[in-house]
Copies of this chain bind each other. A is one copy, B any other.
Amino acid sequence: MTVSPLAPHTFPVLPDISGVALSTAASGMKYAGRDDMLLMRLEDGGTLAAVFTRSDMAAAPVVWCRQQLAGGGTPRALLVNAGNANAFTGDGGMAAVEACCRGMASRLGCAPGEVMMASTGVIGEEPLDTTILAAQFDSLVAGVAGWQAAAKAIRTTDTFAKGAGAGASIGGRTVHISGIAKGSGMIAPDMATMLGFIATDAALPRDVLAALLAEATKHSFNAITVDSDTSTNDSVYLMASGRAGNPPVSSAADPALDSFRAALDTVMQDLAKQIVRDGEGASKFITVRVAGAADDDAARRIGMAIANSPLVKTAIAGEDANWGRIVMAVGKAGAGVDPRQLDISVGGLRITAGGARLEGYDEAPVAAHMKGDEIDIEVRVGDGPGGARIWTCDLTHGYVSINADYRS
């Protein structure tokens, strides 16, 4: 598989997170010659929060994890497999998750409900073959891996491994955040077809962690789209080991969390952007900014209409400054925009005013911007307070080839 032209040059140096142990293994289930399993263990005293797909067809591992987390306990481990999504697999799929979590729990000396699971692959295949996975449990428990190996083990159609990290300070104590993600197609709002695993050594209560994760997800993984298609398996986990020994924090609103919040945003937005950069067939990274909407929801609806429009995405693939398609997309969003208030800029160059093309509009500099691999679209739709920023990629022959020419 050719690496995306928009890929970062290198995998970043990510610090180990004290209190969170990683290990990987190769089950051989689908991918030859590479690891396809990941185990993340959280030591005593840690906390964990997670967000999941909003699909009505949530996969068996998502259903399992929601159930366990609703119980209120703190998970001790997270088991990940790539190559079989265990989605739409009925009772057999649920039984497979439970068997895996039981098997791992018995090795870790915890309850089955303290083991979480995340899976990615083709929907509706046979339920997970638990024997093939279980054969690797001992070596997973015995092993040690770094973040890059972990990021590699969770890939499916990804063309590069995705990682991001940042440091922060809570109450004068330095804390670290390291995270990895996978995702390339079936990427859309309400959690892209993606898995994200982020760990920190900060000490944070579970409810604070959940609030921080929900907030950061809104502007990262839920602000991207590749193809408008929402997966059954999306899961993002944030684990906090507490090993940094920062002073206790009891509320997500505590100003002591300002630095941590910013660092978490950095890590999650970096990972989200890497998923878009690995969008199937992507040749351009597109940022859509919407301002002046009635509220943030309306702005998001407009931004997603632009970012998901096949005609906008193919025009950008063709390096065509066809801004009329942006007008079309704003119109179809149904947010009640008055054409006279719609100002469109591409690459910082204003194109429209007063409901028509700007007088004396010169296409040449806009066309030049379209030749680059970072395309900026800004849309002002009125004088309201609502804004949104969406990341997406173009729609190319590569996307069709990847998705029409073999089963991914």
A residues contacting B by CB (< 8 A) are 53-58, 85, 87-93, 122-127, 185-186, 188, 190, 227-232, 308-311, 314-315, 317-318, 320, 322-325, 327-340, 342, 352, 354-357, 395-397, 399-401, 403-407
> Besides the contacts A122-B322, A315-B407, A320-B404, what 6 more A-B pairs have beta carbons closer than 8 Å?
A56-B336, A58-B331, A88-B355, A188-B332, A229-B311, A318-B406
Q: B400–A355 contact, CB under 8 A?
A: no
Chain B minimum-CB-distance residue to A403: B314
Q: Which residues of B contact A354 (CB under 8 A)?
A: 90-91
Contact of A124 among B229, B315, B357 (CB under 8 A): B357
Query: By DSSP majority rule, is chain A's interface helix, strand, loop, or mixed?
Result: loop
Q: Which residues of B contact A324 (CB under 8 A)?
A: 85, 87-88, 122-125
Q: Which residues of B contact A90 (CB under 8 A)?
A: 339-340, 354-356
In the bound assembly, the distance between CA atoms of A56 and B333 in angstroms comes to 8
Q: B328–A123 contact, CB under 8 A?
A: yes
Q: Which residues of B contact A58 (CB under 8 A)?
A: 331
Q: Which residues of B contact A352 (CB under 8 A)?
A: 88, 124
In the bound assembly, the distance between CA atoms of A169 and B256 in angstroms comes to 79
Q: A229–B309 contact, CB under 8 A?
A: yes
Q: Which residues of B contact A357 (CB under 8 A)?
A: 88-89, 124, 126
Copies held by the complex: 2
Q: B54–A334 contact, CB under 8 A?
A: yes
Q: A57–B228 contact, CB under 8 A?
A: no
In the bound assembly, the distance between CA atoms of A249 and B221 in angstroms comes to 58
Q: Can you pick out 14 interface pairs between chain A and chain B where the beta carbons lie within 8 Å of each other?
A: A56-B335, A56-B337, A57-B337, A87-B327, A88-B339, A90-B355, A92-B356, A185-B311, A228-B228, A228-B308, A230-B328, A318-B405, A320-B407, A395-B400
In the bound assembly, the distance between CA atoms of A27 and B317 in angstroms comes to 32
Q: B331–A55 contact, CB under 8 A?
A: yes
Which 8 pairs across A and B sit closest by C-beta, in order of nearness? A123-B324, A90-B356, A57-B331, A318-B404, A55-B331, A314-B403, A230-B332, A124-B324
User: How many whole Å from A401's CB to the nearest CB in chain B?
Assistant: 7
Q: Which residues of B contact A400 (CB under 8 A)?
A: 314, 317, 395-397, 399-400
Q: A55–B228 contact, CB under 8 A?
A: no
Q: B317–A404 contact, CB under 8 A?
A: yes
In the bound assembly, the distance between CA atoms of A325 and B337 in angstroms comes to 34
In the bound assembly, the distance between CA atoms of A92 and B56 in angstroms comes to 48
In the bound assembly, the distance between CA atoms of A85 and B334 in angstroms comes to 20
